[in-house]
């Protein structure tokens, strides 16, 4: 006779936030469930630092803030909290906030084999609900590829793949120029294949 699996413990938001303040490990919160977030590779950390340095340089003196994976984002108040790899906010409420951001204009996630599908689909669909979010960027760790999703004035999200080290992600409204070469600085990155594997 098979054993029935006990339901997961559900936490209130207050319990979750108390856990985060006391824990050395970060946790994601979704509809009462709490999930420990796994550690990242050295490549992941280097790419994240490269993005933060480049963005801070571009945004210095602009009244915007750049945060890395240690800062929490309330994607949906009372429902979903997580820690993006990199986010930029220019909202006055966020600029004066110490722990939880709520109005990012740009989010960057660095992909790994275990998170790529999740970040590209489910997580992106959650992030889309943030009215402030205008740019969502996915960075591959294993090949030279930066995927840029941009919310157009119509509300439709456009897609621009940047697959060359000479490419630049230009965001005029933020006066940001994020060079792909800077994203992969000090990383031995594999160029995008000219054709899919197995094709002649």
The pLDDT assigned to 38 comes to: 78
Q: Are 108 and 139 in contact (CB under 8 A)?
A: yes
Looking at residue 184, what is its pLDDT?
Answer: 97
Q: How many CB atoms lie within 10 A of CB 94?
A: 22
194: confidence class by pLDDT, cuts 50, 70, 90: low
Q: Are 135 and 89 in contact (CB under 8 A)?
A: no
CB 101 within 8 A of CB 88: no
DSSP state of 55: H
Of 90, 50, 41, give the one whose Cα is nearest residue 68. 50
Classify residue 175 as left (phi > 0), alpha (psi -120 to 50) or beta: left
- Alpha-carbon distance of 170 to 55, in angstroms, equals 12
pLDDT in tens, 127-143: 999 999 999 999 999 99
Helix (H, G, I), strand (E, B) or coil at 4: coil
163-172: Cβ within 8 A, 24+ apart: 163/191, 163/192, 164/192, 165/189, 169/137, 171/106, 171/135
What is the CATH architecture of 40-183? Alpha-Beta Complex (3.90)
For the chain, give every domain's residue range: 40-183
Q: What is the largest CA-CA distance in the chain?
A: 66
Spatial distance between the Cα atoms of 2 and 21, rounded to a whole number of angstroms: 38
The span from the CA of 141 to the CA of 157, in Å, is 23
Tens of pLDDT, residues 139-179: 999 999 999 999 999 999 999 999 999 999 999 989 999 99
CA–centroid distance for 176 within its chain: 17
> Tens of pLDDT along 8-60?
889 999 999 999 999 989 999 999 999 998 777 899 999 999 999 999 999 98
pLDDT category of residue 107 using cuts at 50, 70 and 90: very high
Model pTM score? 0.90
């Amino acid at each position: 006779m098979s054993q029935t699996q006990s339901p997961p413990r559900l936490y209130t938001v207050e319990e979750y936030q108390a856990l985060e303040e006391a824990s050395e490990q970060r946790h994601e919160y979704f509809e009462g469930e709490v999930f420990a977030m796994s550690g990242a590779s050295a490549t992941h950390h280097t790419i994240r630092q490269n993005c933060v340095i480049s963005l801070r340089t571009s945004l210095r003196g602009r009244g915007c803030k750049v945060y890395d994976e240690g800062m929490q984002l309330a994607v949906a108040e009372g429902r979903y909290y997580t820690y993006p790899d990199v986010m930029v906010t220019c909202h006055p409420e966020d600029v004066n906030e110490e722990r939880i951001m709520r109005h990012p204009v740009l989010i960057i996630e660095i992909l790994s084999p275990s998170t790529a599908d999740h970040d590209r689909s489910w997580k992106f669909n959650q992030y889309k609900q943030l009215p402030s979010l205008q740019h969502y960027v996915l960075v591959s760790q294993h090949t030279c590829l930066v995927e840029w999703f941009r919310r157009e004035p119509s509300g439709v999200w456009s897609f621009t793949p940047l697959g060359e080290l000479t490419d630049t992600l230009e965001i005029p409204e933020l006066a940001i120029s994020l060079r792909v070469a800077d994203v992969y600085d000090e990383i031995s990155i594999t160029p995008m294949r000219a054709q899919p594997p197995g094709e002649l």
